[in-house]
A and B are shown apart, each in its own frame.
Chain A
């Protein structure tokens, strides 16, 4: 670190040296190269074997970069292999087109001349390499979220998007990053990170005809940041920088993201530097003197315009709120000062704003502005003249109206898509008038009860109409009930006609399955198109199906259901009259839509039971996707509820995969989760590895026996369930290498334990590790977040505002005050008011 600071101090000297003295490029001999190498300095050396026009061009650039790089403690040199032959590098053929970076006496990295071909590319690539450990990289939104979470309340983040490497912009960013990382290390408040939403292009070296191999690079999954504060304009492909204000926001109100400011000036080392400094400036400063006597901004903000807003004592709070809102929008463009009207403030009352430009001799200009936009224009227009796409960006700025930005993700997505929302009118409408007739018409009517203003209702309505489209032409009648209109139907008030077959609806949205002359079945699954469609499809056969022949049983167990592979449960009883049949039928009713159920009695039941080695009554279950049925004897007199849990337990996979949809049923078991995160397999080897891992996990369950029953062993595939990525990040603070095995959701506490990352995952060692965790000899790798979710924003306190603006309005009366009730009595003080007398 010390040498870096020294290098920075050398900056003016270096500048002088370039003008007056020889180049900083050192031409090494074998001996002094060896000395330099062993001194531990960072060296960037080219071993020149050939002489060609291209190489000569490159050497000129290399020489220039030597000046720049010496500020960063990198000594640039060249070794002329033709003068003396070096062991190694001069002899190697690949060295012809490679420049080498040495650190700590060792070769650190080789750069192809395709990559480092001019000053900018050399400086940026070398610094890029040096800073590799210091700068964090963001590949997905999840990465960013994890980083923001980690920084929240502690640090700010400078987020840079580089459209192509090796450019002037890249260099500016790297130089700034270097300064931030190495010279301000003692008070790091900022993390610089790079986004690579798409793989950046490398700039094509001029003069060197070389094929670029970018195809592989850009052919990556495109990840986008729809809800992120930083949306990259893919078409412009220009580099961008954002400042994420995480340090001041322990809990952001608008989203999980920190508030952000985008740098709007063209990118250069200088502009980036002053942008970052400007971000540190207070958002709004309050002054009590006239704008004309306010000092111009001090270093380092001397080149920034000042905007003055005037505040009256009566509206102090509102004024500050407005000023803050404007300051957020002007951040990076101008400094906002709130001038409190006092005798010292001479500005006439007619003006409510003023500004002063940074140019020497400029005076304060006063104006009367009706909207923040007017002021904003003053400072954004000149900058944006050559950047048209900026305007769109501003409109989407989520910080524009901090209080009015929707901070509820469902409300926000519905609002954003309000023009695309499906029209409820395109679906059949159930009303108080047509309810009974409609339900009587089809064997199955699915009804969505919704409220038109509810965002959740609208989100579900969208999925629902998707299902309705898919089911068009089928027996199923898909319909909606607008509960803002048919309030009596939703309240299940029949008003004299036949009774309504459901309880009053008190939760919106609700999906009911209605069959003629039956009471309604409430859909209790995920409110999404796929899950609902599956449920409806599987609800169509009777539940249970009454089976009486061998063929029927076989087809019940094997028949496919569209693309669904439902789990099946078959009840085996001695006779139809068996007491258990009624309970099983009841259980089957509540499984309808999720599990196919069948009922088998008499001789055939005896036969199937005997084949499976169980006695009647019994249940055969076939979990989804399984090949073999499992049989189990049923208790002779089980209630429907007991049967349900029996079937549920029989269907439970020993090592299930966690998905967004099924997590709730596993969490409800209340067991600790021994959770294996696996990544997406790229090839056959990956598959085999994952298979082997799952096998080990099954062995953990088997070896552990009863002891393992307190844990649910499960796994999560980050390719199927990308949301798992940020979970893993939040457990461990960063993304560990995959696969990762963690123990979490222990009933005893919030600790999260990580299985040693570099140890092979073997059943026996996992069990030993678990034992150590139980013994308390393992230390936690992280903690679960708390379970308390305070209100998202501060109270918008109307009482306080009233008190401020009209203190009497909301004050309780003092007890001696006369309480006047109604009162039309003739007012005594004014004997003949308003009379024409």
Chain B
């Protein structure tokens, strides 16, 4: 399958005998500035940025190829990340909004669509794509290096991380970028949890579920994917978890149930034997039903087909206290509660509860803390994705989802490809003194630039409320910094290397409304710009601060807000086409808001008006200063003044530049040499 595999294996063997092609190899250790742990999508994405910046890095991967997770998962082999090939646009940046699988690079064609043209591509396409990405960009990946232990040491040069592989080889790095993903199946402990099959090991052949009653624990996409796969054969499928199902199209969180997987909602609501129920999983108990003599049809008993009953822990304990361990039948809820919904036994119980971060390889010196959210499954991180207590250790990819768990797209390829870029910019600034890439603009161009970003930028669009553009105001100029990690705004100057001037800053964020509305009902969308703050769908929001907010202000920001309360805020009304470019509803209100941020008139004027204003004032408005006075005035085009309506007054054409029909004067004054240089004369 992978032609380079024998070679790689060979390389590892050689590696054991200390013959790495690297000349850095000393005492059996590799020394690198950057170690990337894992050659999945986030590891390769970081590899690309490190490679482009010509940094000393290595990507360590325990398997023989990139993205090995996808060789197995999703079990039913269909990716639910959209791969939209036709968008009607040639804009590469814009098209990334609708390509959820590809990684970022400067190669226009290095996209997943080269591997698969399916809207929901087969899972096998992804490792193929990753492999292509790695090879075409020439990323430095060491396959077959299984890091089993990670520790941190203090050294004269600073903190270093030491990674030890299965052959006791050490890799020493100043910066460790953990891109190991999530692959340890998440379990919930309850009485009888050992009787449960896991998503990772179940059969994916629907025939194996023929006429069975199946209980699935979990209501995420893996649970529904499984249910969808077997529902054609199983007798019934019940799904159980603590929370009701959350639909991605309602929550705008792609980790919630996607419509592509939700067939079971149909069969549940149309009362076709399937069903959903809510109980916290740590409150349940699953018992294996033992054969009991009371059955009248004892002779027909199936052998070796155990059945499982769901009950609640409290009944179990109650029984245990009274009668010891021998009360099987009485422990079932059928016995306890008359019409308990799960009173019938199941043939199988399958756990589809997702995955957790593998903390086990980290020694205490290097172990990130557990996150407060996501049931502690993820490492706890700073707003710039560094371990809270592990300086120099950054977490990338799905494992970094604790920053935006259940709110944005940081746990998914189409989101974390941008956060990886942001982390790389943090690294460049911190370790190499390269400030974040930025664009310097005239303030009169700011509005156009903002509109351009709003209409094409993919990073803030996918990583809504997490990444945002920061505009540093400097009077007549401004500095545009793209895709900063919003939560780190109080540390903006040190992280980005850009100073904030007394003119303040604007932060551009894409965000959803926070109101719960009927997303398909009337009144779901707003079209009036004056009520734009009530927009429910993704729309741009601009925050103006006169100085950077403090950590404290960030912590106490209004509930549901990505940023603290600003000096002024501007919501641009949601747009059905997500094209924010209409003159009255989008552009003019934005311009007026920007005028208040920069405290000046930002209107555009024709050259003739600039001429008047320049002569009659000490200084004309900014637009004239930055255009007209630099000889780049905008002449009024005659055609724009020929209205097609009749009856209305005919606009004047006396000011337009093209008419040569002013015959009287020039003949006389031409000799006087009426202008300074070529042909400037009489053109206006």
Q: Do A and B bind each other?
A: yes
Q: Mark A779-806, 1 if CB is under 8 A from B, else 0.
A: 0000011111111110111110110000
Q: Which of B478-516 contact A (CB under 8 A)?
A: none
Considering the chains assembled together, what is the distance between the CA atoms of A802 and B601 in angstroms? 26
B651 sits at the interface (CB 8 A):
yes
- Distance (whole angstroms) from the CB of A278 to the closest CB of chain B: 26
Considering the chains assembled together, what is the distance between the CA atoms of A396 and B557 in angstroms? 45
Q: Which of B253-307 contact A (CB under 8 A)?
A: 275-280
Nearest-neighbor residue (CB-CB) of A232 within chain B: B649
Considering the chains assembled together, what is the distance between the CA atoms of A421 and B583 in angstroms? 15
**Is A795's CB under 8 angstroms from B635's CB?**
no
Nearest-neighbor residue (CB-CB) of A141 within chain B: B652
A472 sits at the interface (CB 8 A):
no
Considering the chains assembled together, what is the distance between the CA atoms of A814 and B556 in angstroms? 7
Q: Mark A209-248, 1 if CB is under 8 A from B, else 0.
A: 0000000000001111110000111110000000000000
- Distance (whole angstroms) from the CB of A55 to the closest CB of chain B: 43
Q: Mark A500-511, 1 if CB is under 8 A from B, else 0.
A: 000010111000
A410 sits at the interface (CB 8 A):
yes
- Distance (whole angstroms) from the CB of A594 to the closest CB of chain B: 5
- Distance (whole angstroms) from the CB of A249 to the closest CB of chain B: 16
**Among B568, B581, B617, B636, which residue has its beta carbon within 8 angstroms of that of A786?**
B617
Q: Mark B214-257, 1 if CB is under 8 A from A, else 0.
A: 00000000000000000000000000001110000000000000
Q: Which of A711-746 contact B (CB under 8 A)?
A: 717, 719-724, 726-727, 730-731, 744-745
A18 sits at the interface (CB 8 A):
no
Could you list 14 examples of A-B contacts with CB < 8 Å? Answer: A410-B634, A422-B639, A454-B448, A595-B678, A624-B675, A651-B677, A657-B681, A660-B684, A691-B672, A722-B654, A723-B608, A812-B565, A824-B405, A837-B340
**Among A455, A799, A823, which residue has its beta carbon within 8 angstroms of that of B565?**
A799
**Among B439, B617, B673, which residue has its beta carbon within 8 angstroms of that of A784?**
B617
**Is A409's CB under 8 angstroms from B374's CB?**
no
B616 sits at the interface (CB 8 A):
yes
Q: Which of B633-684 contact A (CB under 8 A)?
A: 633-644, 647-652, 654-655, 657-658, 660, 662, 664-665, 668-684
**Is A527's CB under 8 angstroms from B634's CB?**
yes
A778 sits at the interface (CB 8 A):
no
Considering the chains assembled together, what is the distance between the CA atoms of A235 and B404 in angstroms? 66
Considering the chains assembled together, what is the distance between the CA atoms of A567 and B275 in angstroms? 87
- Distance (whole angstroms) from the CB of A736 to the closest CB of chain B: 15
B122 sits at the interface (CB 8 A):
no
**Is B244's CB under 8 angstroms from A626's CB?**
no
**Is B641's CB under 8 angstroms from A624's CB?**
no
B363 sits at the interface (CB 8 A):
no
Contacts A235-B647, A822-B406 given; indicate if A487 touches B669 (C-beta within 8 A): no
Name the B residues within 8 Å of A506 (CB-CB): 439-441, 445, 449
Which of B84-92, B154-162, B415-423 is the contact stretch? B84-92
Considering the chains assembled together, what is the distance between the CA atoms of A525 and B607 in angstroms? 11
Q: Which of B567-607 contact A (CB under 8 A)?
A: 568-571, 581-584, 587-589, 591-593, 595-596, 599-601, 603-607
- Distance (whole angstroms) from the CB of B10 to the closest CB of chain A: 32
**Is B655's CB under 8 angstroms from A723's CB?**
yes
A438 sits at the interface (CB 8 A):
no
Instruction: Give the A-B pair count, Cβ closer than 8 A.
Output: 443
Sample of 18 further A-B pairs with CB below 8 A, known A456-B604, A796-B593, A810-B569? A420-B643, A453-B455, A485-B89, A487-B92, A661-B607, A723-B608, A792-B592, A792-B601, A793-B592, A795-B596, A796-B530, A798-B569, A801-B533, A819-B555, A822-B373, A835-B277, A836-B275, A837-B340
Q: Which of B511-562 contact A (CB under 8 A)?
A: 530, 532-533, 552-553, 555-559, 561
Considering the chains assembled together, what is the distance between the CA atoms of A466 and B641 in angstroms? 14
Nearest-neighbor residue (CB-CB) of B570 within chain A: A798
B54 sits at the interface (CB 8 A):
no
Nearest-neighbor residue (CB-CB) of B372 within chain A: A821
Considering the chains assembled together, what is the distance between the CA atoms of A134 and B233 in angstroms? 98
**Is B647's CB under 8 angstroms from A233's CB?**
yes
- Distance (whole angstroms) from the CB of B452 to the closest CB of chain A: 6
Nearest-neighbor residue (CB-CB) of A687 within chain B: B668
Nearest-neighbor residue (CB-CB) of B585 within chain A: A404
Name the B residues within 8 Å of A660 (CB-CB): 607-608, 611, 633, 635, 657, 684
Contacts A411-B583, A526-B635, A826-B243 given; indicate if A567 touches B556 (C-beta within 8 A): no
Chain A: number of interface residues, binned into ranges = 35 or more
Considering the chains assembled together, what is the distance between the CA atoms of A422 and B637 in angstroms? 11
- Distance (whole angstroms) from the CB of A696 to the closest CB of chain B: 12
Name the B residues within 8 Å of A347 (CB-CB): none
Q: Which 10 A-B pairs have the closest CB atoms?
A: A528-B635, A787-B619, A453-B581, A226-B651, A791-B595, A566-B678, A789-B601, A785-B617, A822-B373, A787-B618
- Distance (whole angstroms) from the CB of A161 to the closest CB of chain B: 12
**Is A835's CB under 8 angstroms from B640's CB?**
no
A563 sits at the interface (CB 8 A):
yes
Nearest-neighbor residue (CB-CB) of A835 within chain B: B278
- Contact residues of A: prevailing secondary structure: loop
A602 sits at the interface (CB 8 A):
no
Considering the chains assembled together, what is the distance between the CA atoms of A796 and B677 in angstroms? 47
**Is A527's CB under 8 angstroms from B633's CB?**
yes
B451 sits at the interface (CB 8 A):
yes
A629 sits at the interface (CB 8 A):
no
**Is A455's CB under 8 angstroms from B596's CB?**
no
**Is A507's CB under 8 angstroms from B635's CB?**
no
Considering the chains assembled together, what is the distance between the CA atoms of A527 and B607 in angstroms? 9
Nearest-neighbor residue (CB-CB) of B591 within chain A: A408
B442 sits at the interface (CB 8 A):
yes
Contacts A224-B652, A403-B530, A727-B615 given; indicate if A408 touches B680 (C-beta within 8 A): no
Nearest-neighbor residue (CB-CB) of B556 within chain A: A813
Q: Which of A817-837 contact B (CB under 8 A)?
A: 817, 819-826, 832-837
Q: Mark A186-201, 1 if CB is under 8 A from B, else 0.
A: 0000000000000000
**Is A507's CB under 8 angstroms from B445's CB?**
yes
- Distance (whole angstroms) from the CB of A672 to the closest CB of chain B: 12
**Is A835's CB under 8 angstroms from B681's CB?**
no
Q: Which of B448, B570, B629 has the most CB of A within 10 A?
A: B448
**Among B91, B278, B280, B606, which residue has its beta carbon within 8 angstroms of that of A410?**
B606
A524 sits at the interface (CB 8 A):
yes
Contacts A406-B583, A493-B106 given; indicate if A657 touches B675 (C-beta within 8 A): yes
- Distance (whole angstroms) from the CB of B264 to the closest CB of chain A: 15
**Is A652's CB under 8 angstroms from B614's CB?**
no
**Is B676's CB under 8 angstroms from A833's CB?**
no
- Distance (whole angstroms) from the CB of B660 to the closest CB of chain A: 7
B612 sits at the interface (CB 8 A):
yes
A378 sits at the interface (CB 8 A):
no
**Is A565's CB under 8 angstroms from B679's CB?**
yes
Considering the chains assembled together, what is the distance between the CA atoms of A233 and B559 in angstroms? 57
Considering the chains assembled together, what is the distance between the CA atoms of A48 and B250 in angstroms? 94
Nearest-neighbor residue (CB-CB) of B586 within chain A: A453
- Distance (whole angstroms) from the CB of A148 to the closest CB of chain B: 14
Considering the chains assembled together, what is the distance between the CA atoms of A822 and B638 in angstroms? 58
Name the B residues within 8 Å of A371 (CB-CB): none
**Is A531's CB under 8 angstroms from B617's CB?**
no
Considering the chains assembled together, what is the distance between the CA atoms of A626 and B279 in angstroms? 95
B93 sits at the interface (CB 8 A):
yes
